[in-house]
Structure 1
């Protein structure tokens, strides 16, 4: 059945060829007829006019050659549109059966008229030739339907019926074995060759139709050899394969010779389907992929001479499908106990295919110096992706993961070398160079997560980010700078993952911790490397102008600011995690106190540097640091004091520790240092209302901390858990607070007078007022005799001293009042010291 359909198809093609040949003969005959008409017309134009004298005779004789030359060789060459119209009328006689002399574009000679001059005749011919004939309807072109049916329609119907009859005859002959297998194969080969021969003769006059014939002939040859091998077994697999290779090569030569892309497409389709057509299910992958490699190399050579991108796409698609199917079924998805798995062969052919398609998609653009389109760039990217995926999967199947990083690095080196070579050539499309550079940076960045583990990835990316920024500044390539920013971001993410894994931040307070060498473990070293990378990046960015752009839309100054903030955060988190972990490992009970000491020390240093920096730090940054400082100050009464109370209770049970006492003293000292640095920052902000509010806040915090410290001292002196509550109530809270607050108020009044600060003096008087109210309203009833004596004597003495100070320093007070009045009159603001 298949053979019959093929032969019917061949006969149909032959009939079409014969019909086209008959049409060509008819058109040639009609063309000869038209030439004869034009010749007669020219001769009629050259008839001599009756002479009226010697001058007239001479004029008639002179006009003859001019008229002839005006027809044969016009001064102005006809436009292509005119030629097409004229050729259409010549080659389609059914549209111009009633052509008259007037339609031909040349008027007949009229004896009454004078013979026109050469210029007039030429102009008339040009004007008449510009008239475009209108297309006539079917009835207008065929007024005699009987003649059309008999001469035209019957021959087509008869040919079609004859073809069907021949097809049925061939089918019947094949079914009856009148034509054996060799005969059928011979008929197929002869038919294919005949079609190619006919197409070769028609290649100039009917280019498109000859391409169709060549395609049909090559397809017939492919299918004939396939049937001869698969069904008739006339050839061995090797012979059939070689014949198909020859057919493919012949088709490629025809495509180059005729300059026909469609023939090359047909050749490549036949070339890739040949192994499938002669496949028996058992084959040698070396032979198969060697053939495909040779085929792709041939297309590589063809791509060098012709920019036929469709060939690259077809070759690429077929190779990916065939090699990918084999790789997945025969290499990757095989069991671990499988033997003789072709791992090396898979890597070898994958590498060869990668090189071929890499060159195939760039060689013509480099040769012709043309830009790359989206399809070519997509093939380059996907080719690299598929090759990289295949290599990683094969190495993983080989259990050779140790070489995956080396494979990635070699792929980066290959693209780097190629990019460097092309970078030297100024005529090469820069998009290709940037694409290769992007691939290099990508594979360099992938080396770390593929080959390295844990914090080594972060270390690699930390160094790479700096190196990329340096290269971008040296080369001026913006894409490298973008890659530096991306790698820096990846480094931050990787660093966070490393810290979570190393310091066990999720369960540091619930699980038993493993030993980490203090300040020299992998987490700390990785953090230091990341900080050094950020610092080096900032140093490199100093060479760039502040208004310049790092990338589109991002200024260098903005990037530097972001890195500066991130570096501060990294420093804090690094030491916080390290101290937190080591404190949890060595001093679990004092963990929060140690962390509190670190927090106060870190924020105090930042506040000190911000005040020293002055104009170098923005107002927003100073305000933000001030807010962070206030939060840390509030954290003492809210959180850290409770931790000190718990630690005090434990010490009362287990015995007081010198380390705990020193740690508590350090915490209090660092609190006051932080308080002082916040005060300095508030003064720098030059806001009088803010300064007054902060003075009240600082006074309250100091009263609270001094009172809590008095409790700790009382508990340490009277360290008996049974009498602990009574001691705090009777001694510390009633008597001790009154004396402590009175002394504190006295110090404040002295500072207020010394600083000439009315607000501080008001705070002092307020503290005295609160102290007296507390003493007489709450503490007097339950206060012991000794406590009453101590509280009243101390407070009375302090009040007398304060009154004397006010009397002694009356002039200072008066000067303060006059100064305030002057400020109110002038509308100025004076910041108090």
Structure 2
């Protein structure tokens, strides 16, 4: 028993020290308050003379802002808007001020628990006494919080919450470990604790305390669970708890209460839905929808305005309800699956009609209109058997972005950036269905219809983001760039996978050729629409480089595979000719140098264009020569050698001459360097390898043709230089005159 006496003595000493410190702190607080009063009294009197009316509440300000006509707003002088605070800042402020209290009460609860365990190990107390001590300690902590509430409201709320936690855990241990009472008795006790906690929170006007009460109330079923799934009893209890929450939220306007209840209720509902989807679940989904819909409309009912958090709740309750209800119908095979999106759309349409009749086309009107359209869109998508999660999340993401555009509140932007990666992941899971199903129809199959929903919402997202940046003259930099790239990537993959699925029975060379050609034309389309799509200049230049890489790859590797397939009679010659379509966008890029001006700012761009042109021309002639000249497979090696030795140097010489000519005409020095390097490579190859592989006739022919080409090129360059020199001299004379 000496340990017990020592603990009691330590607690008494700590209480004495705390009491003395508390008295000193109170005295210092009074002195500081007196100083503040003396300092601010003259300023306060001056302010009172200027402003005699009470300040408007936040909801009244919102209502006035939404009801003000646009004409009046345009005539009013623009005032600098106060900087928006981070929505997490109040949380961090609370933690900074109360973290020691939270850690302290947590440590105290643990200390009491370890003490009780130690007493149990020493056999000092029996099972009934253990439960009694726990309940007494919890009640004592709550009582201490009661006496501290006047001067230390937040501290007292945390203390009281700790006492409530002790009561919950004691009841749980008494039921699960010691079996001191039945499950019904344990449930009655935990319910009584919850009711008392809510009553204390309402009496103390403490939002923090009711959060503790709700956490305990929603955790109570788990604490006394025996493993049997009595969902009817569970959700009847949760419904009553949510009704109490709704009443407290309306009476005290405690927003966090509703959010806490929504999170726990959704977790319970989704758990029930995944374990045992049945019609009874639909009933509780609808009840929860009604309860939280009223919670989200509390500011709208009072002041005819929608706050950002209530708007977010409207979005979440509509779409989380749809996910659960449609999943139940799909799993159980009930019809029609679109009934719930349409019901929710009608509910929002009623409020939309109400706003329309009032001729109030402000923020609330936009939200109800967006919700109604989004829900109808989801209903149409689900009717075509699209994948549930992907379609709902895609539409929800666009809705969040639209609300951000209308309201300007960053919480919707944050939620959008959180949800959009989930849309991508869900879409990837949807695409995996291509590998598991066979004989799906073209376009009108569940996978591609889901992709169409994602494509449509992604295009809407890009448009909305562009409008937001235009309206606010701001850009998000990194996040916007990543979002744009991801959006174009989703559209590209959705179309490519659908095409690939329907040609999957073709030879691999054909599949690869069509895929690469589609990629080239898709990127070309983005470049043509770059201004309308507001694509960043850096991304534009990157797209040009990507096209050049794809063209070089298509002209070399893909064309070689196609030529081999044609020679082996696996592919028709028409498929080989199809790959030459890459020349259309390539010639357009070469001809239209103003397509992407930033691309030509670096010298490497000229090297990339020249390398691509050289590869495309050389490989194009090479593979075409093989396909057209080889009739017997035994002749392939000989034909390759013949082209490499005889025709390739000629092609390179012509290209080198072309590069040097363009360099002189356009005054682009890089093309001259490229031309001379290409000539050097060709000459080195000719004299070090080709000459020794040729027969006499081929050697004579090659040297004569190359010599003539080089002489003609030299003559052309000399003449061009003289023309340019004469033009410069003439211009200088005119300037002198």
**The TM-score by the shorter chain falls in which range?**
0.5 to 0.7
Residue 665 of structure 1 aligns to a residue whose secondary structure is helix
Check conservation: 2:507, 2:571, Cα contact below 8 A: no
CA distance in 2, matches of 1:555, 1:747: 43
How far residue 492 of structure 1 moved from its aligned partner, in angstroms, is 2.7
**2:422 is the alignment partner of 1:490:** yes
Contact 2:507 2:570 in 1 (8 A): no
1:676 matches 2:575: no
Task: Trace 1:611-690 onto structure 2 (pairs within 5 A).
Answer: 618-633=536-551, 635-636=553-554, 641-654=556-569, 657-667=572-582, 669=583, 672-673=586-587, 676=590, 680=594, 684-685=598-599, 687=601, 690=603
Give 1 or 2: higher helix fraction: 2
- Paired with 1:288 and 1:727, the residues of 2 have a C-alpha distance of 90
Cα-to-partner distance string for 1:33-85 (whole Å, 9 max, x where unaligned): xxxxxxxxxxxxxxxxxxxxxxxxxxxxxxxxxxxxxxxxxxxxxxxx9xxxx
**Alignment CA distance shift 1:301-1:805 (3 Å):** closer
Which residue pairs with 1:719 in the alignment?
A: 631
Secondary structure of the structure 1 residue equivalent to 2:633: coil
Calculate the TM-score normalised by the size of structure 2. Answer: 0.56
Structure 1 Cα separation of the partners of residues 525 and 606 of structure 2: 21
Name the residue aligned to 2:438. 514
* 2:448 maps to 1:533: no
Aligned to 1:564: 484
Tell me by how many angstroms 1:467 deviates: 2.8
In 1, distance between residues paired with 2:261 and 2:415? 21
Q: Hey, what does 1:708 align to over in structure 2?
A: 619
> Structure 2: which 5+ residue stretches go unaligned?
1-26, 28-145, 147-155, 328-385
Change (3 A) 1:415 1:820: farther
Gap change, CA 1:313 and 1:579, over 3 Å in 2: closer
Deviation sequence 1:369-389 (CA, Å, 0-9, x none): xxx5xxx94x65554444444
Residue 645 (structure 1) shift: 2.8
Structure 1 Cα separation of the partners of residues 407 and 611 of structure 2: 60
Correspondence list, 1:41-56, <5 A: none
Deviation at 1:283, TM superposition (A): 8.1
- Aligned counterparts, 1:208-227, within 5 A: none
State the partner residue of 1:53: none
Question: Which residue does 1:733 correspond to in 2?
Answer: 644
For the Cα contact (< 8 Å) 1:304–1:364, is it kept in 2? no
In the other structure, the counterpart of 2:72 is none
TM-fit CA distance, 1:578: 2.7
User: Once the 2 structures are TM-superposed, how far is the Cα of residue 778 of structure 1 from its aligned partner?
Assistant: 3.2
How many residues are paired up?
515
Measure, in 2, the Cα distance between the counterparts of 1:712 and 1:299: 83
1:732-754 CA-partner distances (Å, limit 9, x unpaired): 22222244334445555665565
CA distance in 1, matches of 2:186, 2:731: 100
State whether residues 393 and 419 of structure 2, in contact with CA within 8 Å, keep that contact through their aligned partners in structure 1.
yes
2: distance between equivalents of 1:629 and 1:408?
51
Residue of structure 1 equivalent to 2:226:
329
Rounded to whole Å, the distance in 2 between the matches of 1:314 and 1:599 is 56
Unaligned runs of 5+ in 1: 1-80, 82-254, 256-260, 333-341, 367-371, 505-511, 823-833
TM-score, length of structure 1 as denominator length: 0.50
For 2:568, what is the secondary structure of its paired residue? helix
Contact 2:394 2:457 in 1 (8 A): yes
Q: Distance in 2 between matches of 1:513 and 1:817?
A: 70
Aligned to 1:593: 513
Deviation at 1:461, TM superposition (A): 1.7
What is the DSSP-based 3-state SS (H/G/I as helix, E as strand, rest coil) of the residue aligned with 2:634?
coil
Structure 2 matches for 1:499-510, cutoff 5 A?
499=431, 501-504=432-435
**Residue 351 of structure 2 corresponds to residue 351 of structure 1:** no
1:457 aligns with 2:354: no
Classify the secondary structure of the residue corresponding to 1:586: coil
Provide closer, same or farther for how the CA distance between residues 595 and 405 of structure 1 changes in structure 2, counting only shifts above 3 A.
Answer: farther
In the alignment, the residues of structure 2 paired with residue 388 and residue 419 of structure 1 have an alpha-carbon distance, to the nearest angstrom, of 15
Equivalent residues of 1:455, 1:523 under 8 A apart: yes
Q: Any idea what SS the aligned residue of 2:452 has? A: helix
1:413–1:440 Cα contact (<8 Å) kept: no
Is this contact kept in 1: 2:652–2:682, CA < 8 A? yes
User: What is the deviation of 1:495?
Assistant: 1.9
Structure 1 residues 626, 677: CA separation in 2 closer, same or farther (over 3 Å shift)?
farther
How many Å separate the matches in 2 of 1:604 and 1:746? 29
* 1:444-482, Cα deviation, whole Å (9 max, x unpaired): 443455445683211112222233444455567654554
- Alignment-derived partner of residue 167 in structure 1: none
Shift of residue 721, structure 1, vs aligned partner: 1.7
How far did residue 528 of structure 1 move? 2.6
Task: Give the alignment partner of residue 416 of structure 1, picking from 293, 300, 310.
Answer: 293
**Distance 1:457-1:754 versus aligned 2 partners, 3 A rule:** same
Partner of 1:533: helix, strand, or coil? helix
Q: Structure 1 residues 810, 473: closer, same or farther in 2, change over 3 A?
A: closer
Deviation at 1:770, TM superposition (A): 4.9
Structure 1 position 795, deviation (Å): 2.9
Evaluate the alpha carbon distance shift between residue 290 and residue 486 of structure 1 in structure 2; reply closer, same or farther with a 3 A threshold.
same
Shift of 1:513: 6.9
Q: Which has the larger radius of gyration?
A: 1
| Pairing partner for 2:502 from 554, 572, 582 | 582
Cα contact 2:394–2:453 (8 A) shared by 1: yes
Q: For 1:427 and 1:746, locate their aligned partners in 2 and report how far apart those are by CA, in whole Å.
A: 76
Alignment root-mean-square deviation, CA: 5.3
Deviation at 1:415, TM superposition (A): 1.6
Q: 1:301: Cα distance to partner? A: 8.0
The alignment status of 1:798 with 2:709, answered yes or no, reads yes
Deviations 1:389-444 (A, max 9, x none): 444555666x334665774464244222233133343599x9xx766555444444
